[in-house]
Chain A
């Protein structure tokens, strides 16, 4: 299941929601992305822009791909947009499976792919002014390692 929202999320509530529905879950992996303050505490805020419609389409596609590749009982992706501040949560990925390997690997896959395939762009507002975040080579490499 995917969600694109401005509101914050509560990881424990999300996990409880998943485990309460299925007693065959043996392991859960989670990844939470958080806004960093940056060097010299320079970041004031970060505004996430997204392409409404395509975002949901791509997140669903990535989610479906994870379910094809791993044996998963449940997944959840929550991605926020709008203005966020240092320390704020940006994204949550939860994967639940019977055995740990499926949950751990698919969680890494989901965050790696959504970083380069989900249409979000980050505008950083720092003491030095506003700047759009550029694509990182390490993110491209992390994403491409899952390409079959």
Chain B
């Protein structure tokens, strides 16, 4: 699964993108976030406060109970500050 990170989430994790293999237990965005937090201290710290984390699946912002699969493009970032 391909994951993109933006803004300070990217800075804290230390990469713009990473590819991870996921088990069948990971069915939703929430499952994925919990899994990512086990990968490293950097992941754990970056994703510690879920209230300031947003997720897009295939370029649409989704709730954390959204189902995901291996082919989806996932992006994780803080609230957007355009304009």
Contact = CB atoms under 8 A, between A and B. Distances in A.
A119 interface: yes
Contacts of B7: 49, 121, 123, 132
Contacts of A119: 6, 56, 75, 77, 80, 82
A115 interface: yes
Interface residues of B, number: 16
Contact of A134 (B6, B81, B82): B81
Q: Chain A: interface residue count, which band?
A: 20 to 34
B4 interface: yes
A123 B8 CA distance: 9
B59 A121 contact: no
B6 A117 contact: no
Interface string B64-83: 00000000000101111111
A144 B30 CA distance: 25
Given A51-B4, A51-B6, A132-B8, A120 B56 contact: no
A79 B82 contact: yes
Give me the 4 closest cross-chain CB pairs, A-B, nearest first. Answer: A120-B82, A115-B83, A135-B79, A121-B7
